Amino acid sequence: MADDVEIWMVAGLYQARTGREADLAAVLARYTVLTRSVDGCRNVDLVSSAATPGRYLVVEKWDDPDAQRAHLDSDVMVTMATEASAMLAGPPDLDLYQTISAYDVE
């Protein structure tokens, strides 16, 4: 379809160390806001688990995988990763997805 929009998504699952939940949430919230203004970024959402305290999910929508890859080396990403590393219970679970069915508001 001519109206189909290709969107690439990154999902990042982060688990805070006990006692560092609020600190990690603040770092991820700042990252989310800053990433929304990055070229090629369509949107970023940050949500917290209702079932597991200190578990956060960041969902990013990108125009293409090249824009997302460029973001990986950006100051915004490096700063977030540096600040969050001491707050994490383990490494984040990150993956790049190509959408099959997704809605994008422009």
- DSSP secondary structure string for all residues of 3-65: T----EEEEEEEEBPTT-HHHHHHHHHHHHHHHTTSTTEEEEEEEE-SSSTTEEEEEEEES-H
Res 2 pLDDT > 50:
no
Q: Give the pair of three-digit tokens for residue 22.
A: 């609020």
Range of the domain at 25: 12-98
3 found inside a domain: no
52 found inside a domain: yes
* pLDDT tens profile 46-76: 999 999 999 999 999 999 889 999 999 999 9
103 found inside a domain: no
86 found inside a domain: yes
What CATH number is given to the structural domain containing 70?
3.30.70.100
24 found inside a domain: yes
104 found inside a domain: no
78 found inside a domain: yes
What is the number of domains present in the chain? 1
Residue 97 pLDDT: 85
Q: Are 43 and 102 in contact (CB under 8 A)?
A: no
* pLDDT tens profile 7-54: 889 999 999 999 999 999 999 999 999 999 999 999 999 999 999 999
Q: What confidence category does residue 3 fall into, taking pLDDT thresholds of 50, 70 and 90?
A: low
